[in-house]
Amino acid sequence: MKSNEFINILAALPEQIEKAQDICSRVKVDLPEKINAVYIAGMGGSGVAGLLAKSILSENLKIPVELIRDYAAPFAMTKNSLLVAVSYSGNTEETLSVVAQAEKRRVPMVFISSGGKLAELAEAKKIDIFEIPKGYQPRAALGFLLIPLLYIFEKLKMAPGLKEDLAEAVIELKKLCGEIGPGVSPHQNEAHKLAAKICKTFPLIYSSAALYPAAYRFKCQLNENAKLLAHAGEMTESNHNEIEGLCALKRGAHNHSLLYLRSERDSERTKKQMEITKSLVGAQLGGVREIFPRGKSLLCQMLSLVYFLDMVSAYVAEVNGTDPAEIGTILKLKKELSR
């Protein structure tokens, strides 16, 4: 895949969300009436959809929602729980391992995948599946992976106002595309300007706990698209440990850059902690760059940050002369694993 093509796919997230909504409206899912917990299994670009959904819906989750990003299914996952297995390829071995354990324990399941072994299993065992379009890289298929997950929670009556919030997000993302999309020249494009500033640094990204999935997604996108190491931390937890390491970085250590994802939704105490850490560690790191979301709902705010930062990661790749579509090392590892 050409790198331009990949960037265009990332930029088309709002349209992808609309397509995903259309897919969801056509899929029939039969969810159990009474469950005591929801488990979401998924790795990498698929797993991040679970992280985002859990945070976006946090205020309305009436039962525990746990993420599984490993081979082992938690002991507490029983036939009274629901497992949502998310794997774009349908072949990720950690996710398949959790599904195999769930089968043995007779845990009700629903899948989100474009094919692979997960789709085969769904067919063979009559398990409900949201079949999403093939031909994407998982990290560029976030709309297809996330929307079905949110839709499942809507069916479970834990996502009130989902349609309105998605409508708000699509409008805001389309507006953002006109400001920071690939068609906007680098000197007028805020995402490009940020990319140029951080492209030779080790970005340290912080946000409130609620927005942490956006910080983590950015870290992963910098890793995969730009082949750049980065760190995502959660405020205020990081102020109880990492702050010491940050303060110890020598003045003028410009190989690090400090980024805060901020929102007026952050609690007053979190805002205060951010202001204090800015004054304590900002100077050492050449100042703090702050990024604000768009929109009112948590869903819109989260997705606007994800979208802006996805574009930053692609532009970092462009500035550094790296192909954002290429993930040779991950593919090599998967090949070795399959031997």
Under the rule (CB under 6 A), what is the footprint of ligand F6R? Answer: 43-46, 87-89, 92, 95, 137-139, 224, 327, 330
194 token code pair: 């940020």
CB of 165 to ligand F6R, least distance (A): 25
Sign (positive or negative) of CA dihedral 42, 54, 159, 298: negative
Quick one: which of 213, 222, 204, 188 has its CA closest to 311?
222
**Closest CB 220 distance from ligand F6R, rounded Å:** 7
Strands of the sheet containing 109-113, edge to edge, are: 65-68, 37-41, 81-87, 109-113, 128-131
- Distance (Å, whole) CA 183 – CA 7: 11
47 contacts 85 by C-beta, under 8 angstroms: no
By beta carbon distance, the residue nearest ligand F6R is 44
Q: Is 73 helix (H, G, I), strand (E, B) or coil?
A: coil
Reduced to 3 states (helix: H, G, I; strand: E, B; else coil), residue 175 is: helix
- For the record, the structure tokens of 254 come out as 């410009």
Q: 45 vs 295, which CB is nearer to ligand F6R?
A: 45
Query: How far apart (Å, rounded) are the C-alpha atoms in residues 132 and 118?
Result: 12
Bridge partners of 291, per DSSP, are 261
The single-letter DSSP state of residue 75 is T
Is there a catalytic annotation at residue 168? no
Active site residue 240: yes
Q: Which is nearer to ligand F6R, 89 or 277 (CB)?
A: 89
Q: How many CB atoms lie within 10 A of CB 11?
A: 22
Q: Which of 125, 240, 250, 335 is catalytic?
A: 240
Secondary structure letter of residue 60 according to DSSP: G
Spatial contact of 203 and 230, defined as CB atoms under 8 Å apart: yes
- Least CB distance to ligand F6R at residue 162 (A): 23
The gap from C-alpha 232 to its chain's centroid, in whole angstroms, comes to: 12
**Closest approach of Cβ 117 to ligand F6R, in Å?**
11
Q: How far is the CB of 141 from ligand F6R (least distance, A)?
A: 8
Least gap, CB of 132 to ligand F6R (angstroms): 11
Q: In the chain, how long is the greatest CA-to-CA distance?
A: 61
Nearer to ligand F6R, 231 or 289 (CB): 231
**Active-site entry in 172, 224, 242, 318:** 224
Q: Which of 274, 230, 213 is nearest to 52 (CA)?
A: 213
Question: Which of residues 88 and 206 has its CB atom nearest to ligand F6R in the complex?
Answer: 88
164 is catalytic: no
The residues annotated with a catalytic role in the active site are 224, 240, 334
